[in-house]
């Protein structure tokens, strides 16, 4: 279990990484976070952190949306994260959670002039959905929060109320996950993952202008599909009805990694199993994450090497 955290400038026991109940972010959701994965490779006897620089770049962009003044550079956060993981001594897959928060009282709504602080901790974890195929999905009655309301490109704490409402709606109605449409009625993303589908051998995913998080796994899969699998990839709007015509469909993201979708709104996707494109992408991604694809070793930060 987690024993340590990087908290307010130093690595401390996790029990000491605390905030007050008067904390501004606790009351108003005015923080941001990142989700980063480390993957253990028995073959290499190494823990590889996937695209850490990209994650921290997005983290700092999210902080900028909130007028947060982060006292650390991306390089400093990466260095602290590697040291934290090394001290924890993980030899299994882990999830890493950096969070920036405003350490102020409750009697202010504005964002600027706050005391901005950062904490990072890690925890062993499996997949967000708990399984990677036969996922039952519905289209949520909740719409994806619009970029003109809360920055969709940022991992803003408060915006995840939108995801929570849709996720509970899906689960209480017997599904595993939900797809949210944007305000224009086009497919945006899942509650905590990006969406992709396959039609006639073409990999299709909504554009980043569809009010979705600019997913790092999403970006990686697009590159891998083009460079290694010679697939055509389209980033374009997807209508709800087109979901029902997909040959394959999948979710991707740091938490979920990759998960094949079996049905959408009680309509079977393909043969209701993991299709050939999804399987090929998943196997390729797994090799990348565990250091077995030499062309993409620059995406990995080894903890112990």
Q: Is 155 a catalytic residue?
A: yes
| CA dist list (Å): 97 to 2, 123, 135, 170, 282 | 12, 8, 25, 25, 24
156 within 8 A of 32, measured Cβ to Cβ: yes
Q: Which among 234, 232, 281, 287 is positioned nearest to 259, based on CA atoms?
A: 281
Give the active site residue among 91, 155, 219, 228. Answer: 155
Q: Which among 291, 254, 230 is positioned nearest to 42, based on CA atoms?
A: 291
221 within 8 A of 196, measured Cβ to Cβ: yes
Q: Distance between CA 59 and CA 154 in Å, rounded?
A: 8
Q: Distance between CA 169 and CA 178 in Å, rounded?
A: 8
Which residues, 6 or more positions from 223, have their beta carbon under 8 angstroms from its beta carbon?
Answer: none
How many Cβ atoms are within 10 Å of 186's Cβ, its own excluded? 19
Q: Distance between CA 174 and CA 28 in Å, rounded?
A: 31
Per-residue burial over 170-182, b = 16 or more CB atoms within 10 Å of its CB, e = otherwise: beeeebbbbbbbb
**Residues annotated catalytic, as ranges:** 155
């Amino acid at each position: 279990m987690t024993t340590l955290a990087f908290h307010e400038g130093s690595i401390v026991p996790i029990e000491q990484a605390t905030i007050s109940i008067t904390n501004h972010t606790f009351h108003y959701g005015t923080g941001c976070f990142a989700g980063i994965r480390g993957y253990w490779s028995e073959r290499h006897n190494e823990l590889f952190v996937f695209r850490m620089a990209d994650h921290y770049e997005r983290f700092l962009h999210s902080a900028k949306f909130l007028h947060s003044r982060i006292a650390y550079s991306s390089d400093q956060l990466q260095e602290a994260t590697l040291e934290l993981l090394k001290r924890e001594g993980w030899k299994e897959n882990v999830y890493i959670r950096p969070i920036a928060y405003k350490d102020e009282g409750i009697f202010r709504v504005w964002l600027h002039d706050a005391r901005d602080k950062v904490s990072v901790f890690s925890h062993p974890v499996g997949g967000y959905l708990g399984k990677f195929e036969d996922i039952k999905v519905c289209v949520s009655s909740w719409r994806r929060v619009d970029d003109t309301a809360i920055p969709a490109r940022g991992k803003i704490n408060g915006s995840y109320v939108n995801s929570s409402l849709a996720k509970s709606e899906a689960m209480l109605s017997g599904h595993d996950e939900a797809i949210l449409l944007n305000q224009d009625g086009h497919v945006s993303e899942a509650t905590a993952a990006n969406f992709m589908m396959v039609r006639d051998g073409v990999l299709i995913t909504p554009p980043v202008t569809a009010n979705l998080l600019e997913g790092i796994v999403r970006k990686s899969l697009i590159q891998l599909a083009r460079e290694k699998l010679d697939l055509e990839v389209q980033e374009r709007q997807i209508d709800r009805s087109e979901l029902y015509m997909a040959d394959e469909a999948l979710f991707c993201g740091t938490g979920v990694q990759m998960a094949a979708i079996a049905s959408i709104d009680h309509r079977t996707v393909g043969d209701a199993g993991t299709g050939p494109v999804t399987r090929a992408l998943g196997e390729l991604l797994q090799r990348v994450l565990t250091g077995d694809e030499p062309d993409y070793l620059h995406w990995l930060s080894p903890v112990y090497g």
